[in-house]
Amino acid sequence: EIETLVLHKRDFKIVMEKISEEIAKNHQVIVVYPLVNESEKIPYLSLSEGASFWQKRFKKVYTTSGQ
């Protein structure tokens, strides 16, 4: 079963709780970033910027992109 959630940054605590719950069930979680690298024109965090955040908090964090 795949569950998709789109949340605002104010809901980040909910995101972290949900991820922890899924990992505790030995499930996988995918976090999608709209950018691979930082952009001056687009105000979103990139995969390269966000990867270290997830790697510090969870084991077995992998990143991939279409580039």
Specify the pLDDT at position 38.
76
Q: Tally the domains of the chain.
A: 2
* Residue recorded with tokens 């991820």: 19
The domain of 20 spans: 1-30
Q: Which pLDDT tens digit goes with each residue over 23-44?
A: 999 999 888 877 777 767 776 7
Q: Which pLDDT tens digit goes with each residue over 41-61?
A: 776 777 888 888 989 998 888
Co-location of 39 and 56 in the same domain: yes
DSSP state of 53: H
Co-location of 53 and 38 in the same domain: yes
DSSP string of 1-67? --------GGGHHHHHHHHHHHHHTT-------S-SS--SSS-S--HHHHHHHHHHHSSS-------
Q: How confident is the model at residue 13 (pLDDT cuts 50, 70, 90)?
A: very high
pTM over 0.75: no
Co-location of 52 and 22 in the same domain: no
Co-location of 10 and 38 in the same domain: no
Co-location of 41 and 54 in the same domain: yes
- Assess whether pLDDT exceeds 90 at residue 1: no
Own/partner long-range contacts of 22-28 (Cβ < 8 Å, ≥24 apart):
23/58
